[in-house]
Amino acid sequence: MQTIYKDVLIIGAGLAGERAAAEAAGAGLSAVCLSIVPARRSHSAAAMGGMQAALGNSVMGEGDSTDVHFADTVKGSDWGCDQEVARLFADTAPIEMRRLCDWGVPWNRVVPGKSKYFKGGKQFDKEEKEEKRGLITARNFGGTAKWRTCYVSDGTGHSVLYTMDNRCAQLGVEVHDKSEAIALIQDGKTCYGAIARSLRTGELIAYVAKATMVATGGFGKIYKASTNAVICDGGVHGAVLDTGVVPLGNMEAVQFHPTGIVPTDILVTEGCRGDGGTLLDVNEERFMHIYEPDKAELASRDVVARWMTHHMRLGKGVPSPYGEHLWLDIRHLGADHITGKLREVYEICTSFLGVDPIHQLIPVRPTQHYSMGGVRTNKDGAAYGLKGLFSAGEAACWDMHGFNRLGGNSLAETVVAGGIVGGKIVEFLKDYECEIPTAEITRTAAKQQQRIDDMISGKNGNENVYKVREAMQNALDKGAHVFRTEEGLTECVETLQAVLKRARSIGLQTDGYGASPELSAALKIEGQVKLALCVAYGALQRRESRGSHNREDYPARNDRDWLTRTLAYWKNPDDDLPTLEYEDATPSFEMPPGDRGYGKMQIITADSKEES
């Protein structure tokens, strides 16, 4: 087996991973990033909207500051976030945007003078200032007090990721693509790297490093319908859970976006509704105004997703070969507006659905979109439980998002956290020595090879991995979606426990040679089902509603009992449930829990009395 030695191993070459790699390489350390796909195809490239930073250059951002950004972020999180981390993030974001500017990102810039903008389908005027000419400008996003989202046309993630990968190439960071990490090398105290499987040849390769970072993005693909890329499958989260000592934080905090298209679950932007688009049911009638007389379609993401699901449950969904959905209607906005300001939506509808949104309705439904939970770290990005293991980006629960992340905050988080955690890794390695754990490397590699051999020979059974995966996805889509109840979650957990048994008896249907996709899927399925159980069981235990976690049977936010973060451990590999522990949501309060100012909800305050 080939063994590769580096100072720093970064699993993931998206924005978070490459930003950290640039920091390490800039300090003279040797760094390698592993990635399933070439770095530039990482899912960060798919983010179109932009990234939040309180630069305040646009006239619509006047009066903005890192304090206002901090407050928006904490409210957005429904007070579930770590406020020290949110503060660190808000303060660093402007610097990172400017750094990206030096590295080559073609940010859109302030153009002085009068221009028009839309709000709620109506036109308004604004006038940009001469003295801000040519500085980084911003657009409007949900849940923010100011226009704060820096952007590059409709391809922010793409442009920023290409710039970051250019920077990494310049610094000599190696990116080994088509390399899939399948297990961590660790002894219960220290992490020494990972075992990866080559997606060119199928060989196992050991990557040995003094510091290892998990930057593998979200794990949306444990749900059936997700806006995430197909590689956002939580493979490495499974490997982290498998250590038994590193917890995953707040796995029940999953964001659903109201307008994923059906089929293929591609996201169409919130701008459609922002500009006056409406949602229709099977009778082609509007319904949001029945539930939310004030805001109707323009209520917040979690609220709209909630009512859409409710309406479909009443039998008002539109049946289709791809399951039920509702309609998004933007026809009345007119051809000019649709092919102009909503060009990207027009292109997605025409190329993927064969639907012309100028004349036809767009099939949509609430779709899994973002994983607030992940590898729990401290504010330096060091994972709980294992020395030498770090995490950043969507993969981590650092935790600035709590129970709901704001649009534009996650892309910004990747570069802010990547930079900070990369710097902390450099510090950590300054006087850190560890022995090369030859025995652990051999043991871990042999164990993985054995799993592969058993799956090929069918020693443990002959369950079909694709069927097992579908059973897991269906269970989550059904039981741990927008609405959650004791009954639904209990059933979901029981179903997943049965699925876990099947996931332990996978046998390949094909030969498993080389980069076999069936083997790739098989190697991670047990870990994925365990993640699914962390989501469902965490949601079952959390008897309150907070942010994206809506318990119909516990509709109030309960700051008295649940101002906490869930930590899910898988202590023994043969367990069929995670072990849950809890910690305070934040070590200190810069902003005490209060009303978010949107999405009306009951609140049980911290000082209220226990009911008898």
Partner 1 sequence: MGRQLKFKIFRFNPQNPESVPRMEVFSLDETDSMTLFIALNRIREEQDGSLQFEFCCRAGICGSCAMVINGRPGLACHTKTKDLPDEITLTPLPVFELVGDLSVDTGSWFREMYNKVESWVHTDKVFDPNAIEDPMDNAIAEEIYELDRCVECGSCVAACGTARLRDDFMGATALNRLGRFVIDPRDKRTDEQYFEVIGSDEGIFGCMGLLACEDVCPKNLPLMNQLSYLRRKMGVVALKQIFKK
- Does position 260 interact with ligand FAD (CB under 6 A)? The reply is no
From the number of C-beta atoms within 10 Å of its C-beta (0-12, 13-18, 19+), residue 491 rates as: middle
Q: Which residues contact 25 (CB under 8 A, 6 or more apart)?
A: 31, 168, 171, 172, 173
Touching ligand FAD, residues 393-452 (CB under 6 A): 393-395, 407-412, 414
Give the whole-angstrom CA distance, residue 23 versus residue 461.
46
With left for phi above 0 and alpha for psi between -120 and 50, is residue 56 left, alpha or beta? Answer: left
Structure tokens at 82: 């770590």
Task: Determine, following the binding rule CB under 6 A, whether residue 235 of this chain makes contact with ligand FAD.
Answer: yes
Handedness of CA 197, 202, 204, 207 (dihedral sign): negative
Quote the least distance from Cβ 35 to partner 1, whole Å: 8
Enzyme catalytic residues:
257, 273
Considering the complex, state which of residue 148 and residue 542 has its C-beta at the smaller distance from ligand FAD: 148
Q: Would you say 66 or 485 has its CB closer to ligand FAD?
A: 66
Q: Shortest distance, CB of residue 99 to partner 1, whole angstroms?
A: 5
> Which one of the spans 118-126, 177-185, 301-309, 427-435 is the region binding ligand FAD (CB under 6 A)?
177-185
User: Is residue 309 part of the contact set for ligand FAD (CB under 6 A)?
Assistant: no
Which CB atom, from 63 or from 293, has the smaller least distance to partner 1?
Answer: 63
- Which span sits near ligand FAD by CB under 6 A: 35-43, 329-337, 372-380, 585-593? 35-43
Toward ligand FAD, which CB reaches closer, 217 or 422?
A: 217
Given a contact cutoff of 8 angstroms between Cβ atoms, the answer to whether 269 and 258 are in contact is no
User: Quick one: tokens of 17?
Assistant: 């991973």
Rg from Cα positions in the chain: 23
Residue 16 or 25 with smaller CB distance to ligand FAD = 16
HSE of 319 in the Cβ direction (CA atoms, 13 Å)? 1
Contact yes or no for 95/389 (Cβ under 8 A): no
Q: Which residue from 137, 140, 216, 528 is in contact with ligand FAD, where contact means CB under 6 A?
A: 216
Q: Of these partners, partner 1, ligand FAD, none, which one is at the site of residue 135 (CB under 5 to 8 Å by kind)? A: partner 1
Angle between helices 517-541 and 438-457 (to 10 degrees): 100
Among 50, 258, 366, 374, binds ligand FAD (CB under 6 A): 50
Query: Cα 494 from chain centroid?
Result: 26
Please, what is the minimum distance in Å from the beta carbon of residue 441 to partner 1?
Answer: 24
> Which partner in ligand FAD, partner 1, none is near 180 (CB below 5 to 8 A by kind)?
ligand FAD
Nearest to 437 by CA among 120, 90, 151, 189: 189
155 binds, among ligand FAD, partner 1, none (CB under 5 to 8 A by kind): partner 1
| CA dist 355 → 352, 360, 547 (Å) | 8, 6, 33
The 3 state secondary structure assigned to 475-515 is HHHHHCCCEECHHHHHHHHHHHHHHHHHHCCECCCCCCCCC
| Residue choice 8, 9, 16, 185 for contact with ligand FAD (CB under 6 A) | 16
217 binds ligand FAD (CB under 6 A): yes
- Which partner in partner 1, ligand FAD, none is near 394 (CB below 5 to 8 A by kind)? ligand FAD
Nearer to ligand FAD, 338 or 396 (CB): 396
Strands 204-214, 557-558: pairing kind: unpaired
Q: Which of ligand FAD, partner 1, none does residue 296 bind to, with CB < 5 to 8 Å depending on kind?
A: none
With contact defined as beta carbons under 8 Å apart, do 390 and 212 qualify? yes
Closest separation in Å from C-beta 436 to partner 1? 29
Contact set for ligand FAD, span 136-175 (CB under 6 A): 157
C-alpha closest to that of 443 among 210, 195, 198, 243: 195
- Indicate which of ligand FAD, partner 1, none lies near residue 409 (CB less than 5 to 8 Å, by partner kind): ligand FAD
Q: Which residues would be at the binding site for ligand FAD (CB under 6 A)?
A: 11-17, 34-37, 42-44, 46-51, 157, 179-181, 215-218, 227-228, 231-232, 235-236, 267, 370, 393-395, 407-412, 414
